[in-house]
Chain A
Amino acid sequence: GAVVSQHPSRVICKSGTSVKIECRSLDFQATTMFWYRQFPKQSLMLMATSNEGSKATYEQGVEKDKFLINHASLTLSTLTVTSAHPEDSSFYICSARDAGPGGNTGELFFGEGSRLTVL
């Protein structure tokens, strides 16, 4: 299957600092990327939908000023957790839709996830 690279896989930071997570589609173009948060033993919680060249669409309850999403190219989206606090500690996962022949119905591939720990 297609490869989505997510970096860093783990990050530990102090409270109040900002952390940037990158999501890259390595062998396909992704007009749409999704960012999820996952708590232990729970399913994926959609945070926002990111479309290349436009502002992200955030789900209800997700603070857009805290979780900054940028989708500047067809292969890269970034999530920046600003002024992180311990309650932001979680597993963040991105996914990218292959915009090839399927277009909006293209297959959805996930990155490996980033575990954020805020001290």
Chain B
Amino acid sequence: QKEVEQDPGPLSVPEGAIVSLNCTYSNSAFQYFMWYRQYSRKGPELLMYTYSSGNKEDGRFTAQVDKSSKYISLFIRDSQPSDSATYLCAMFGGSYIPTFGRGTSLIVHP
């Protein structure tokens, strides 16, 4: 079992839909959680960085962390075709070295 599990998709949604992206993890030492967006042939872009359990909102993005269930989510409201990309979750604990999920490919069609 991998330390971080993430469904690779693709996830296809219509424009304007609410998107839910998820990761599960097995290492209870993970305390810091990140979400990145990666367009094809580009480096990942940091979207959200959270520490506490609960929700964190930034514009159309909401990151949710449930440490008791070892489950994190990223919600995208009012999705746009420009949101089409691969979304990577990442997390780390005391080693400070992030572990990445394999990424979920999101397609938002007009």
Contacts and interface: CB of A to CB of B under 8 A. Distances in A.
Interface stretch (A13-21, A70-78, A82-90, A110-118): A110-118
Given A32-B96, A43-B101, A49-B97, A108 B45 contact: no
Interface in B19-60: 32, 34, 36, 41-46, 49, 51
Given A1-B45, A109-B46, A113-B41, A44 B34 contact: no
Contacts of A97: 96
A60 interface: no
> What 10 pairs across the A-B complex have the smallest Cβ distances?
A110-B43, A43-B102, A104-B96, A112-B43, A113-B43, A110-B44, A44-B100, A93-B43, A111-B43, A43-B100
Interface size range on B against A: 20 to 34
Interface of A: 1, 4, 6, 32, 34, 41-44, 46, 49, 91, 93, 95, 97, 104-105, 107-113, 115
